[in-house]
Amino acid sequence: MSEQRDEHPMEAPGQPDRQGVAGRLAQGFIRNPVTVLLFFAAIAAGIIGLIQTPREEDPQISVPMVDIAVSLPGASGAEVQRLVTEPLERMMREVSGVKHVYSTSSEGRSLVTVRFEVGEETEPSLVKIYDRLQSNSDKMPPGATWPLIRSKGVNDVPIVTLTLHSQSIDDATLGLLGRDIISKLHEIQGVSSSFIVEGRTEQVSVTLSPERLSGFHLSPAAVAKAIEQANEERSVGQATSGDRYHLIYSGSQLASPSAIDNVMVGSFAGQPVYVRDVATIEHGPGERGSAVVHTPGEASAGVEPGVGRSAVTLAIAKKAGTNGVEVANAVLDKMADLERDLIPENVSVSVTRNYGESANKKVNELIFKLFVATLAVTLLVWLALGWRAALVVLAIIPIVILFTVFAAWLMGYSINRVSLFALIFSIGILVDDAIVVVENIYRRWLLDENTDDRVTVDAVDEVGNPTILATFTVIAALLPMGFVTGLMGPYMEPIPALGTVAMAFSIVAAFVFTPWLARKLIPPHKVLRRAGEKEHRQSDWLGRFYEKAMLGLYQDRKRGSLFLVGVVVAFFVACSLIYFNAVQVKMLPFDNKPEFDVVIDLPAGSSMERTASLARAVSEELSEWPEVVSSQSYIGTAAPFNFNGLVRQYYLRQQPWQGEVQVQLTGKDEREKSSHALAEQARERFAELASRFDARLQIVEMPPGPPVLQTVVAEVYGASEQARDGLARDLETAFTEVPNVGDVSSGLMAPHTNWRFVIDREKADRLGVSVNEINQTLSLVLGNKTLGDLRPLATTAPLPIVTRVSERHKIDPSSLYAMPVKVLPDGTNVTLGAVGQFVDKPAEQPIYRKDMRPVQYVTGEAIGTLAAPIYGMFQVEQWLEERGRDVETGFFSRPTPEAGEATVLWGGEWTVTWKTFRDMGIAFAVALILIYGLIVWEFGNFTAPAIVMAPIPLTLIGIVPGHWLLGADFSATSMIGFIALAGIIVRNSILLVDFARHELDKGVSIETAMVRACQSRTRPILITALALVLGSSVILSDPIFQGMAISLLFGVIVSTLLTLVVIPLGCLTARQAVCNRCAHDQDCDETTPRDGNQVKSSHP
């Protein structure tokens, strides 16, 4: 072997002008003491990053949503739209950063929702809204209230919910206890907004008696005025007495509910009349306008399942940028203290949401997979190159990962499942540089029988340029994915961002730390000799194999043509699996979460009691399932929302006919069925129940990715309300009848009536009664009007004083006709019946608009075997065609309706899907252009890069059948794996072609050069491919990122095997692009024998 070294002398380290960047880095750090410092500095930085980086389950996506509510009493929905909604919409459309403006106009009320672009910050967005409203305040009509502005963002989503429940304490008392607890929890550092969801509240009720008021010739207004005046205390001035200064107060506060009894409201027959004479005072729960019920499930411990309990739920959110795990743990620790000191024994506390725990479990699970992947790759290198080389790789992987975590902290990312998947995904590619370098170092040591620094540095330099180029091709493939727009952009952004950082640092580590570590672990001479003999045997075998296989295909045109046709046929057969739905395309597959929701919608106008009956039936059914821990029913009030509920605006669901049942499941390791399977089971079980109550039940799962309004959304546009509503009703029917759409809903309200008190103006004027007096009276007796409050020292919240009438009067409002509105000077009562009457009035349909255009919504959930929304959409369109409805639909943009016609724009998950795949397609095209440009720059022609990139589409031969074999959907993460694979596969091609070009520079024929390239580079290519297989296999079990794992695993296996054949054949066919002598029509025949010894001895 010494002759080999003489025949091919290597450049000494003292001649840096012949060395590349890799050689100079290796030479500068192989014996430099600074290398040790840098090594441990990178580890220390990574540990700091691990400690400081917040942990959470999903990436934080900033999508500010601002609700603007304005009341215009007495106006119809059309008037509200014209006078309030449209001016507000125009104002909001002028605000920079606004993506959509939604509005709902109903009788006397306008709600405008402003949705900003993804990435906009909440506080600056709110400032823009306030500034715009202030500068346009003159555009609001007279009588309209000042806009009430409420903002909601991702940091308002509660990470912990605690449900207080009891069988012996009513919900109002639980509410008082809950408010005390909330005030204590706010002492925790990191706790942000929090709120309590409850049913009845503690209050002092003044129940007026129409008969007594009439008998004593008193009106409700007189009673209200007396109570308000008796409960008034104020500062009236100040005075100075000598050298002392005094503030002067007047009046007094009512001390207790019993004090209200003794308030004098007037006189009758010369005797004083007190409140107790005309009303009943009650201290306790108010009227039941909403309810919260906790129902233990079969999996709950120590509690009888299926028995509903009075409950309130405390919802706690965290501050932006804080560690969700730490905040959640602090809340639970504080609650443990409060259970001992504040909460009575007959009140139980259930943790009904803990995103801190779920985030910590997910993070710990992925960190474990990170270790598994690292050890698997290390074992692979051990088997291929020995334990010393494995130790080098084992040291490089953690240092690169730790430094990437440090970079994630600096870049503002959190440790979440997406960023951790980025690290796991990176293991398979970041180790490539170290494997290539360490493999070449060992190969050169064996060939040269010399382990001094000159050989080590030269070995690094030999693979330096192609490794740098190959690394940049991977970065070029990853980086464009960071520019995906919409909700999926920031959701998936950690993958290209952290993958790029990991790849960039891995190449530095490969050139700086790998030679230094390899020198520390130089094997003994005897070990080298044995390894050398094994190397020669492998090299001889590979040489003979490639000469027979590859040259046989090249020289035998028939066999070569058959091989080419086979590859092309395999490609089209693989792609046809998507066309024939053998492999379905879906945005993201279903996840396995510990919860799901049942959203209840009864016909508009239904009572809260009927909604509660349905919610109770749902909860009792669920309590019998062994996988259910508990459920909470929220009737007539919004449940604590999650990110999905934030986007769908579930926090606005406050009507008596609306409800929600939140279901907690056992851990995924404790049950056989996934949360999606249980949701499908619930959808099937509750179909009969929904039919019996004439209700709509939606089974809502936590989305695996960014949430949308609903998976299937039809936006119906048209000039007339009749056209929009008519088509919406047809679509409702279509959604119900097609097989792959369920949970159908729409913006159309069921017909129902409201009561309106119609005033006889002539009679009222003649009797001297104003409209304001009539409205005030009705508000006092029917509107639960608050007259003030009591402020007992024992509670954190004041007790409101509320007027009302008994329930029997509300059931039959005509019984209120005897209620005095006014007492004339002669003592005559003017009653309600004398100035008007109650009549039924049909409720108006709300008017929906999106971006200043009238719209009607029909929504559904994609269900069944074809669970991607596109399949259900096609079925709906086919249903319409079969029934003669010629409806113009748009998949990408809103079609323009003809006069009197309505059109449909498909939205929901489909919009996110096509925009994401569009952006990824653009990113893929940009990646291909960047990769092509890098290779053109390196090889100096346009043909060689095309050969190098040829295996990219061939990855689909493995990717698509891989999804079919494992029964997985081709998702957005599958596309990410496909794009990343483009850069990974190209690096293998570059290593082959670059080695062949070096061999050609020595004068050998192109056939020999390609054989030797395959001979020399097969092992590192296979090792790096298997490393990627092992790294990606550990995430196969994750529902979300399974697609990416399948793409990487199956794609790299097939494309690697094809690369070792297709690339050499391409180079032989287009030899002018690879061989300079061929390009100048010089002789390129073999100048040396092609026997095994010659092939072996020609290694550099």
Q: What phi and psi values does residue 466 have, to the nearest 5 degrees?
A: -65, -30
Residue 2 clears pLDDT 60, i.e. is over it:
no
Query: At which residue do the structure tokens 């040269």 appear?
Result: 448
Q: Name the CATH topology of 155-201+288-358+592-702.
A: Alpha-Beta Plaits (3.30.70)
Find, among 113, 110, 116, 115, the residue nearest to 146 by Cα.
110
**Domains 65-152 and 155-201+288-358+592-702 fall in the same CATH topology:** yes
Q: Percent of the chain having pLDDT more than 70?
A: 94
Q: How confident is the model at residue 531 (pLDDT cuts 50, 70, 90)?
A: low
DSSP codes, 192-234: EEEEEE-SS-EEEEEEE-HHHHHHTT--HHHHHHHHHHHT-EE
Q: Average pLDDT, stretch 489-513?
A: 86
Q: How confident is the model at residue 1100 (pLDDT cuts 50, 70, 90)?
A: very low
- 104 close to 67: Cβ distance less than 8 angstroms: no
Q: How far is CA 295 from CA 160, 532, 932, 1038, in A?
A: 19, 71, 61, 31
Identity of the residue numbered 311: A
Find, among 1047, 1027, 1070, 742, the residue nearest to 924 by Cα.
1047
Q: How confident is the model at residue 1095 (pLDDT cuts 50, 70, 90)?
A: very low
DSSP codes, 8-20: SPPPPTT-GGG--
Residue 17 clears pLDDT 90, i.e. is over it:
no
Q: What are 329's two structure tokens? A: 């743990």
Residue 770 clears pLDDT 70, i.e. is over it:
yes
pLDDT digits (tens, 9 = 90+) for 920-945: 888 888 888 888 888 888 777 788 88
- What is the dihedral angle through the alpha carbons of 91, 709, 742, 723, rounded to the nearest 10 degrees? 10
Q: How confident is the model at residue 793 (pLDDT cuts 50, 70, 90)?
A: low
Q: Name the CATH topology of 202-233+248-285+753-842.
A: 3.30.2090
Q: Average pLDDT, stretch 467-493?
A: 81
pLDDT digits (tens, 9 = 90+) for 302-353: 788 888 899 999 999 998 878 888 899 999 999 999 988 889 989 999 999 9
- In whole angstroms, how large is the CA radius of gyration of the chain? 37
Element (H, E) at 63: none
Q: Average pLDDT, stretch 56-79?
A: 87
Cα of 19 vs its chain's centroid, Å: 49
Q: Percent of the chain having pLDDT more than 90?
A: 31
pLDDT at 1078: 57
Q: Tell me the angle at which helices 324-341 and 355-385 cross, rounded to the nearest 10 degrees.
A: 140
pLDDT at 357: 84
pLDDT at 11: 40
Residues 6 or more apart whose Cβ sits within 8 Å of residue 252: 230, 233
CA atoms of 843 and 608, how far apart (whole Å)? 18
pLDDT at 1080: 53
- 718 close to 854: Cβ distance less than 8 angstroms: yes
Q: Average pLDDT, stretch 442-451?
A: 78
Find, among 950, 943, 1006, the residue nearest to 551 by Cα.
1006
Q: Average pLDDT, stretch 556-570?
A: 85
pLDDT digits (tens, 9 = 90+) for 945-987: 888 888 888 889 999 999 999 888 888 888 888 888 887 788 7
Q: Average pLDDT, stretch 457-479?
A: 83
Residues 6 or more apart whose Cβ sits within 8 Å of residue 279: 206, 207, 208, 209, 212, 223, 803
Maximum CA extent, the chain: 133
pLDDT at 356: 85
- 670 close to 297: Cβ distance less than 8 angstroms: no
Q: Average pLDDT, stretch 703-713?
A: 83
CA atoms of 429 and 408, how far apart (whole Å)? 18
pLDDT at 574: 92
Q: What are 857's two structure tokens? A: 């919504």
364-373, 566-575, 1064-1073, 1086-1095: which has the highest mean pLDDT?
Answer: 566-575
Query: At which residue do the structure tokens 């046809």 appear?
Result: 576
Query: At which residue do the structure tokens 């590619």 appear?
Result: 429
Cα of 454 vs its chain's centroid, Å: 53
Residue 1085 clears pLDDT 90, i.e. is over it:
no
pLDDT at 794: 58
Find, among 192, 231, 164, 167, the residue nearest to 60 by Cα.
192
Q: Average pLDDT, stretch 676-688?
A: 92
8-state DSSP, 672: S
pLDDT at 1073: 62
Domain boundaries, the chain: 2-58+386-587+914-1097, 65-152, 155-201+288-358+592-702, 202-233+248-285+753-842
Q: What are 409's two structure tokens? A: 């902290």
Residue 78 clears pLDDT 90, i.e. is over it:
yes
DSSP codes, 575-619: HHHHHTTSS-B-SSPPP--SEEEEEEEPPTT--HHHHHHHHHHHH
pLDDT at 315: 95
pLDDT at 550: 74
pLDDT digits (tens, 9 = 90+) for 799-840: 899 998 888 888 888 888 888 998 888 888 889 989 999 998
Residues 6 or more apart whose Cβ sits within 8 Å of residue 1005: 1084, 1085, 1086, 1087, 1090
Q: How confident is the model at residue 856 (pLDDT cuts 50, 70, 90)?
A: very high
Residue 1077 clears pLDDT 60, i.e. is over it:
no
Per the model's pLDDT, the better-predicted residue between 1078 and 146 turns out to be 146
Q: Tell me the angle at which helices 956-966 and 1042-1069 cross, rounded to the nearest 10 degrees.
A: 150
pLDDT at 3: 37
pLDDT at 893: 83
Q: Average pLDDT, stretch 240-268?
A: 87
pLDDT at 662: 96
Q: Average pLDDT, stretch 843-872?
A: 89
CATH value of 2-58+386-587+914-1097 in 1.20.1640.10, 3.20.20.450, 1.10.287.3510, 3.30.300.30: 1.20.1640.10
Q: For the chain, what is the mean pLDDT?
A: 85
Q: How confident is the model at residue 41 (pLDDT cuts 50, 70, 90)?
A: very high
Per the model's pLDDT, the better-predicted residue between 795 and 253 turns out to be 253
Specify the CATH architecture of the domain 65-152: 2-Layer Sandwich (3.30)
Q: Average pLDDT, stretch 466-487?
A: 81
Residue 1091 clears pLDDT 50, i.e. is over it:
no
